[in-house]
Chains A and B, each alone.
Chain A
Amino acid sequence: MESVHNPNALSALIAAQHEQLEKLARAWLASGASHFEFINEHGIVLFAWPPPPHDTAIPDGFTADVHAFGRVIGMLHVAGLDTDRQTAYADRLRGDATMLARLLQLEGELESMTVELIDAQDQILALYQLGRSVRENLTIEETLQTLATEAAQLVKVDVAGLVMSPAVQVQHPHAALDDALIDLLFQRVLSEQREILLNDPQYLPSGIDNALLIPIWIRDMAQAALALINKPGGFTSPDMKLARAIAEEASAHVEKVLLYQATLAQARLKTELDLAANIQARLLPQQVPHVPGIQLFAVSIPAKQVGGDFYDFVYQPDHLLTVVVGDVAGKGFSSALLMAMTRTVMRSRAKSTPPPESGPVVSLSNDDLYEDYTGVSVFTTAFVGRYDPHQRTLSYANAGHSPVIYVPAGQTPRFLAAEDMPMGVLPGIDYKDQMLTLNPGDALIIATDGLSEARNAEGDLFGYERLLALAADCCQYDADEIAHYLLNTIQLFSAGHEQDDDQTMLVLKVV
């Protein structure tokens, strides 16, 4: 009811009640009165009937105080009546004063409600505009800058600031608090998780009269703060309510920007992984060569985070077939790229190295790749086999690769263990060459450790022994059936455990 203490506000209220006052006045004049007035607490006449100017001075008569808004705001005055009915007239005038007081009271409340409503509408509109302007921002800094600008205008303070950390803070339109002080206040808001109102200039730096800091809740924690500095006349309760509303708005926007950034980072990572998977898939041979007298089958199942598995065939006009299976250490984009490079180098060496030995293919590839591998701290295990269909001989070199299983028809399978270390470990290595003569029904299974190291839900490894036993079970099958049988069995074993590593298998079977 602040407004009715103002004389102008009271005269406005009285003016609004002119019709009612005129009715009262006419009734009094009908009863014989000469004048009817409303006089405010300072003795100023706000209503007079008949309307002025008056020819003669108004004589004295009866008065009745008007009590409204918790005090006497003025009085009603009636003049020119017979004095013998004084008591009855006095009662009637008091009744009129009470009714007028009630009307003024209601009018005053209505007016102040209207003012509050308009204020509230302004604030809602301002908050809506704040929401709209912040929505366009994609970085935290931009968002904080917009929030600070709007907060300074909305709460009508000299400076508004937003702080997320000592390094991430903005103040608008200029920096009123130095970094050390803002950090100190910010840490206090974070540790106490509540508002801080400072309104004693004695404890504030010169030029600062008052300051209000409100925590901004991000993911259920006070992680940022809204700082409002120098509110002329001090912070009132509505100011603080508005500041809290801005802090809530800020919280929603900051969370949205953080979410957006996290989504963007995930999208980038996914793009990288997809790209790696794509490189890996495209670089593997799309077709298996038809080589008389043997069945060939190869498959590679990339893990969610791709590794560096690869396989390759080089079938030359002289009917020599070279098969390669390799595994670049590590995972992700870099491994996929190195796999691509390794495959190209080995393919070229396989084409240019005279048959039948496999060892030189690996030795020369190692020399080609050694420097590049050292730069990025990786190595590659590889198995190279060169098969001569006329002689049915297989020369092979194994650079630290496992598991490779040789299944002689009707006999116990065995591993072809590595004789030498992986490529990229030491330069100038002379990789040894070994020779096997294959008979009809013999099979060679070249896999990668993604198969032997597949884990089940309990974390147990599939292991080499199980793989060897499995190879014995399926040796009578065709090459593709052998591969599917092994892969299906291992997938069943590891159901419930995510595939950690690429699983690659190449099967060569003599018919």
Chain B
Amino acid sequence: MTITKSLQSDIVVLGLSGRFDTYQVPVVKQSLEEAVRESSKILVNLSDVNFMDSTALAMLVQGMKRCRQEMGGDLRLCCLQRPVQVIFELTRLDKAFMIFSTEAAAIASFR
């Protein structure tokens, strides 16, 4: 799992890649916590993630809940690969998260 972090005005963009499962959760969690300290607007780009398990989903849910405690805060997702998209559809977590097909659209949604 590699994690990249960039800042687009007040939005922290985290780019994840690889298999995102129980074993990767601690490292992602640390990055996410750092990001939350910087901003309550977080975009997670999942373009290079090909698998997620329930523990990974639970961590994103937790991050989303924390961001939404702030006025205007949210954790949004973009660029889901088909297998990951299917996981969000099966669990209907696609109804809980705002999911975008491109990073630009996701960034624009925060404005």
Contact = CB atoms under 8 A, between A and B. Distances in A.
B92 interface: yes
B54 A327 contact: yes
9 closest A-B pairs by beta carbon, nearest first, are A329-B54, A400-B91, A377-B62, A329-B58, A421-B92, A418-B92, A402-B90, A425-B96, A421-B96
A449 B52 CA distance: 13
18 contacts: A330-B22, A330-B54, A330-B55, A331-B55, A374-B65, A377-B58, A377-B59, A377-B62, A379-B61, A400-B90, A400-B91, A402-B91, A417-B90, A420-B92, A421-B93, A422-B91, A422-B92, A424-B61
B85 to A, nearest CB: 14
B37 interface: no
A329 B57 contact: yes
B95 interface: yes
Contacts, number: 52
Interface size range of chain A in the complex: 20 to 34
Interface residues of B, number: 15
A420 B94 CA distance: 9
Given A329-B58, A378-B58, A400 B92 contact: yes
Contacts of A399: 92
B62 A418 contact: no
Interface string A395-411: 00001101000000000
Interface string B55-95: 10111011001000000000000000000000000111101
A27 interface: no
A418 B91 contact: yes
Interface string A313-340: 0000000000000010111000000000
Interface of A: 327, 329-331, 374, 377-379, 381, 399-400, 402, 417-422, 424-426, 449
A381 B61 CA distance: 13
A421 B95 contact: yes
Given A330-B55, A330-B58, A426 B96 contact: yes
A399 B93 CA distance: 10
A399 B65 CA distance: 18
A419 B92 contact: yes
Interface of B: 22, 54-55, 57-59, 61-62, 65, 90-93, 95-96
Nearest to A370: B65
Given A330-B54, A379-B58, A400 B65 contact: no
A449 B86 CA distance: 13
B100 to A, nearest CB: 18
B57 A418 contact: no
Contacts of B59: 377
B91 A421 contact: yes
B69 to A, nearest CB: 10
A420 B62 contact: no
Nearest to A400: B91
Contacts of B95: 420-421
Contact of A425 (B22, B90, B93): B93
Contacts of A327: 54
A435 B16 CA distance: 40
Contacts of A381: 54, 91
A425 B55 contact: no
Nearest to B29: A377
Nearest to B54: A329
Contacts of A421: 91-93, 95-96
Contacts of B90: 400, 402, 417-418
Contacts of A426: 96
Contacts of A330: 22, 54-55, 58
A378 B62 CA distance: 8
A425 B68 CA distance: 12
A425 B54 contact: no
B90 to A, nearest CB: 5
Given A379-B58, A381-B91, 20 more contacts: A327-B54, A329-B54, A329-B55, A329-B58, A330-B22, A330-B54, A330-B55, A378-B58, A379-B54, A399-B92, A400-B91, A418-B91, A419-B92, A420-B92, A421-B95, A421-B96, A424-B61, A425-B93, A425-B96, A426-B96
Residue in B22, B91, B95 with the greatest tally of chain A CB atoms within 10 Å: B91
Contacts of B22: 330-331
A143 B51 CA distance: 48
A330 B23 CA distance: 11
A289 to B, nearest CB: 29
Contacts of B61: 377, 379, 424-425
Nearest to A500: B53
A342 B92 CA distance: 20
Nearest to A378: B58
Contacts of A418: 90-92
Most buried by B among A327, A374, A377, A378: A377
A402 B65 CA distance: 24
A381 B59 CA distance: 15
Most buried by A among B90, B95, B96: B90
A379 B57 CA distance: 9
A234 to B, nearest CB: 54
Q: Which of A327, A331, A378, A424 has the most CB of B within 10 A?
A: A378
A399 B61 CA distance: 15
Contacts of B57: 329, 379
Contacts of B55: 329-331
